[in-house]
Amino acid sequence: MGQHPTKICVVGIGYIGLPTAAIFAQTGFDVLGYDVNSSVVDALNQGQITIEEPQLGDIVAQVVASGKLRASTTIEPADAFFIAVPTPVNVDNSADLSYIEQACQTVLKVLKAGDIVVLESTSPPGTTDDVVVKILEKSGLIIGSDIFVAHTPERVIPGRILEELVHNSRIIGGINDASSQAVAALFATFVKGKIIETDAKTAEMCKVMENTYRDINIALANEMAKICEQMGISAWQVREYANYHPRVNILMPGPGVGGHCIAVDPWFLVEKNPQLAQLIAKGRHINDSMPSHTYQLINKHIQPGSTLVILGVTFKPNVDDMRESPILELIEMLKQNGYQVVIHDPHVKAYCNDLYQVAQGADGVVLAVNHDDFNAVDFDKLHQALKGHVMIDTRNMWTDQLSGDLRFKHIVLGRG
């Protein structure tokens, strides 16, 4: 390995790349954020961020002001490259690796002996060896001794990204030991969690399995909700009481699983192992059925043609991220079936309106996302604004507040 790395380039300054860039800059590295999107680059160079994430705005403003972080649409030589681009799935659920390929081609232009290349994007097991290394080999440099390559899956959760970047354990999957060691040393500059060195394919599989594990457990909660509805009992009570068992932790049912990770990554295993990945595929299908299940629940209680207020459109609570949000699919279904839909979401600029004005004259409310803000709804004001008073609560958020309140018809997903 060459000198200690001092300059870092993060390829893709989105939800993961930007916090990663910011934290390396805060640690003292000179960091360039490369992105093909010039509006993201321009915003960053002004010290502004284009996503909502606690603490991130302050740190970015600081490191941009101190000159430690800047952004460009032109790649530059660096000592270490971190690739943090999306890995979506195509309509047939096969992995779309084109962003990773493009990013590697970009890095290839400035690659020199001694450099480190880290793939952060969640990828089907085998991608580091079969895609990243293959492209970097075109440099003529010897991968593993001239160039160090590893996959270090990102496991931070939106809403707590900065805290988790530092405190989570970190798996470093090198294509050889020298690569793992070089990359581990970089992360050791700020990671306080355990740093584990392994091979690239194992690291890739760990990440995909973590999200698959969560997906399947949410699917179990969703299946339980459907069964409890049928049986006339509350899945929420079952969940609460069963979770008193020291070795049980049933997750929350809901209107679907969204985001760019949990709803996507399990397909990487299904695509490569269609015969073996039976439970994984089933879990995906169960979670994908939830927008339609929620639609049917709504349809049972409110006629098409009615106006509904949808509370929350993001893929999960307390973030502004709408990627793969199951609520968008639900809204589409409602519209197609003749419902009028108005949306309120305090986290999304376009829908950050006055709830009580938006609700004026509507026939019902669908609580779609469990944003904390919705705990503070003023039911007297809402009652006044609404014409009809059906409240479809997909997250069991209002059970305490609305219990015994005869002004509303409170319907809960998962409660028969």
Contacting positions for ligand SAJ (CB under 6 A): 122, 154-158, 210-211, 214, 218, 251-252, 254, 257-259, 261-262, 315-316
Which conformational region is residue 217 in: left (phi greater than 0), alpha (psi within -120 to 50 degrees), or beta?
Answer: alpha
CB of 358 to ligand SAJ, least distance (A): 23
Q: Which is nearer to ligand SAJ, 135 or 156 (CB)?
A: 156
| Structure token pair of residue 133 | 């290394």
How far apart CA 339 and CA 96 sit, in angstroms, is: 35
Q: DSSP letter string over 338-376?
A: T-EEEEE-TTSGGG---HHHHTTT-SEEEE-S--GGGGG
Position 256, amino acid: G
The minimum distance between CB 261 and ligand SAJ, in angstroms, equals: 3
Q: Which is nearer to ligand SAJ, 156 or 205 (CB)?
A: 156
Quote the CA–CA distance of 254 and 370 in Å, as a whole number: 10
Closer CB to ligand SAJ, residue 309 or residue 319? 319
Helix (H, G, I), strand (E, B) or coil at 150: strand
Beta strands in 109-194 (DSSP E): 116-119, 148-151, 170-174
Residue closest to 30 by CA, chosen among 72, 1, 2, 58: 72
Cα 126 from chain centroid (whole Å): 22
Residue nearest to ligand SAJ (CB): 261
Nearer to ligand SAJ, 174 or 254 (CB): 254
Question: Is 16 or 60 the residue whose CB approaches ligand SAJ more closely?
Answer: 16
Q: How far apart are CB 168 and ligand SAJ at their closest, in Å?
A: 8
Nearer to ligand SAJ, 249 or 303 (CB): 249
Residues 246, 363: Cα–Cα separation, whole Å:
43
Q: How far is the CB of 179 from ligand SAJ (least distance, A)?
A: 22
Residues 86, 101 contacting (CB under 8 angstroms): no
Nearer to ligand SAJ, 122 or 139 (CB): 122
Write down the least CB distance from residue 26 to ligand SAJ, Å.
Answer: 20
Identity of residue 358 = V
Residues annotated as catalytic are: 207, 261
Burial-class residue 196 by CB neighbours within 10 Å (0-12, 13-18, 19+): middle
Question: At closest approach, how far in Å is the CB of 330 from ligand SAJ?
Answer: 12
Distance CA 265, CA 242 (A): 28
Q: How far apart are the first and last CA of the chain?
A: 63
Strand order in 390-393's β-sheet? 340-344, 307-311, 364-367, 390-393, 409-412
Which is nearer to ligand SAJ, 30 or 210 (by Cβ)? 210
Residue 121 to residues 18, 72, 150, 262, Cα–Cα distance (Å):
13, 20, 11, 13
Residue 177 C-beta: closest distance to ligand SAJ, Å: 26
Q: How far is residue 378's CA from residue 355's CA, in Å, rounded to a whole number? A: 10
Q: Closest separation between CB of residue 72 and ligand SAJ, Å?
A: 25
